[in-house]
């Protein structure tokens, strides 16, 4: 039995990671959560409430739990201040981590630096500007009738809004104190796809592609993006897989740990990268496990035992057209194509 300490265990990404390890067997989980909500939401075998403000306090608390509970691996489950502290102070932790190199991680957390790296590497990217001032908005509106504003940092569509109005865009930036901290891109379609990858010293060991069929509760957010995937399905697409790999290699010479990629399609059906997702799995990790590839288990084995823990690479191994539907208060369902498409 190995022990994994999961920071941010009590919400979507952490819960689904925990469920993967429970299904796999052989892993004891310890949840560390900064809020009461997530502490109570956690399904870890042992739970700790750890509110913190100073990064040193968080590291000390994690190390204390590591010593008391003989922890083998520390995993930060969500894009959060906690994940950044873990990544920045990984050398001070008294248990193993498996993370992208710190400079790669920080570049991938910044959507503008990501866009620049993709662009410089010659990948096809959505036309995008960093919005330092109104002139930048005017520049992008000269080229596109409708734009997509969003924060450089964050997840789940942080700060995002589509608009065709320069005045509205400027007001949005004012309201969010966003000048210098937002990008503006050509507005793409609502069709998206996503790549999950597990890497070791530059080698891609496991991967899976999915198509999101929509954002759940989209009507509750200004942009329609909630970060909560509604229906989704496994897909097989050799070109998209190659593009995801190339995009990730454009951000890192030696991808290591978990690194995924999100694509949004143009109205003409061309998938363009909008995000390289570092260091943690998407909440749909449990869908992928149920569809045939337990990435969380592979990740933990890799972190604890190194490359030899895994056999040959498993590249997009899940049968395509397996569907997954989920939502708040419902248990997720795995469905075949015909079961999903009832008329
Ligand atoms: N330029 C764009 N045009 C239209 N929709 C976009 C654009 N960029 C992002 N989106 C939408 O926002 C979602 C989240 O974007 P993503 O790049 O994955 O960042 P994050 O997940 O960190 O918010 C995408 O899946 C897509 O639905
Ligand atoms: Mg994303």
Q: Which of 128, 160, 215 to mutate to test the pocket of ligand 1 (most atoms within 8 A of CB)?
A: 160
Which residue ranges have their beta carbon within 6 Å of ligand 1? 126, 148, 155-158, 160, 185, 187-188, 192, 225, 262, 264, 274-275
Q: Where are the domains of the chain?
A: 2-97, 135-185, 192-340
Give the tokens for residue 2.
Answer: 């190995």
Q: In this predicted model, what pLDDT tens digit does every residue of 86-106 receive, in sequence order?
A: 999 999 999 999 999 999 999
Domain 2-97 homologous superfamily, CATH: NAD(P)-binding Rossmann-like Domain (3.40.50.720)
User: In CATH, which of 3.30.1280.10, 3.40.630.30, 3.30.70.120, 3.30.470.20 is domain 192-340?
Assistant: 3.30.470.20
Segment 194-214 mean pLDDT: 98
User: Which ligand approaches the C-alpha of residue 183 most closely?
Assistant: 1
Segment 48-55 mean pLDDT: 98
Query: Could you tell me the pLDDT band of residue 343, with boundaries at 50, 70 and 90?
Result: confident
Q: What is the pLDDT of residue 268?
A: 97
Rounded to the nearest angstrom, the distance between the alpha carbon of 215 and the centre of ligand 1 is 11
Residues lining ion ligand 2 (Cβ < 5 A) are 262, 275
Alpha carbon nearest to ligand 1 atom 14, residue: 157
Percent residues over pLDDT 90 in the chain:
99
Q: In what order do the strands lie in the sheet with 147-151?
A: 128-130, 182-186, 147-151, 161-163
Q: In this predicted model, what pLDDT tens digit does every residue of 288-321 receive, in sequence order?
A: 999 999 999 999 999 999 999 999 999 999 999 9
For the full predicted model, state whether its pTM sits above 0.85. Answer: yes
Report the atom number in ligand 1 closest to the C-alpha of 212: 25
Query: Could you tell me the pLDDT band of residue 145, with boundaries at 50, 70 and 90?
Result: very high
What average pLDDT does the chain have?
97
Q: Which of 146, 157, 183, 193 to mutate to test the pocket of ligand 1 (most atoms within 8 A of CB)?
A: 157
**Alpha carbon distance 14, 158 (integer Å):** 19
Segment 188-203 mean pLDDT: 98
Report the atom number in ligand 1 closest to the C-alpha of 128: 1
Q: In this predicted model, what pLDDT tens digit does every residue of 3-50 receive, in sequence order?
A: 999 999 999 999 999 999 999 999 999 999 999 999 999 999 999 999
Q: Which of 108, 264, 267, 283 to mutate to test the pocket of ligand 1 (most atoms within 8 A of CB)?
A: 264
Segment 193-200 mean pLDDT: 98
**Alpha carbon distance 324, 34 (integer Å):** 29
């Amino acid at each position: 039995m190995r022990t994994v300490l999961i920071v941010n265990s009590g919400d979507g990404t952490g819960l689904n990671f925990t469920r993967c390890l429970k299904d796999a067997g052989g892993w004891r989980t310890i949840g560390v959560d900064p809020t009461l909500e997530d502490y109570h939401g956690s399904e870890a075998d042992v739970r700790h409430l750890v509110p913190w403000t100073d990064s040193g306090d968080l590291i000390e608390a994690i190390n204390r739990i590591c010593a008391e509970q003989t922890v083998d691996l520390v995993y930060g489950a969500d894009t959060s201040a906690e994940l950044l502290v873990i990544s920045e102070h990984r050398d001070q932790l008294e248990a193993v981590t498996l993370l992208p190199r710190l400079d790669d991680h920080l570049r991938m957390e910044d959507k503008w630096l990501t866009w620049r790296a993709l662009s410089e590497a010659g990948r096809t990217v959505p036309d995008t500007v960093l919005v330092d001032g109104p002139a930048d908005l005017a520049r992008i509106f000269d080229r596109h009738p409708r734009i997509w504003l969003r924060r450089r940092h964050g997840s789940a569509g942080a700060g995002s809004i589509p608009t065709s109005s320069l005045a509205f865009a400027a007001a949005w930036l004012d309201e969010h104190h966003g000048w210098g901290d937002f990008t503006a891109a050509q507005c793409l379609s609502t069709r998206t796809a996503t790549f999950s990858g597990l890497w070791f010293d530059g080698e891609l060991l496991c991967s899976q592609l999915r198509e999101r069929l929509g954002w759940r509760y989209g009507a509750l957010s200004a942009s329609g993006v909630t970060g909560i995937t509604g229906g989704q399905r496994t897909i097989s697409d050799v070109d998209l897989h190659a593009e995801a790999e190339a995009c990730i290699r454009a951000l890192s010479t030696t991808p290591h740990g978990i690194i995924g990629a999100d694509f949004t399609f143009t109205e003409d059906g061309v998938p363009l990268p909008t995000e390289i997702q570092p260091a943690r799995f998407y909440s749909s990790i449990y869908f992928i496990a149920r569809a045939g590839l337990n990435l969380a288990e592979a990740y933990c084995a890799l972190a604890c035992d190194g490359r030899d823990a895994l056999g040959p690479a498993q590249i997009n191994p899940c049968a395509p057209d397996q569907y997954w539907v989920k939502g708040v208060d419902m248990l997720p369902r795995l469905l075949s194509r015909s079961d999903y498409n009832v008329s």
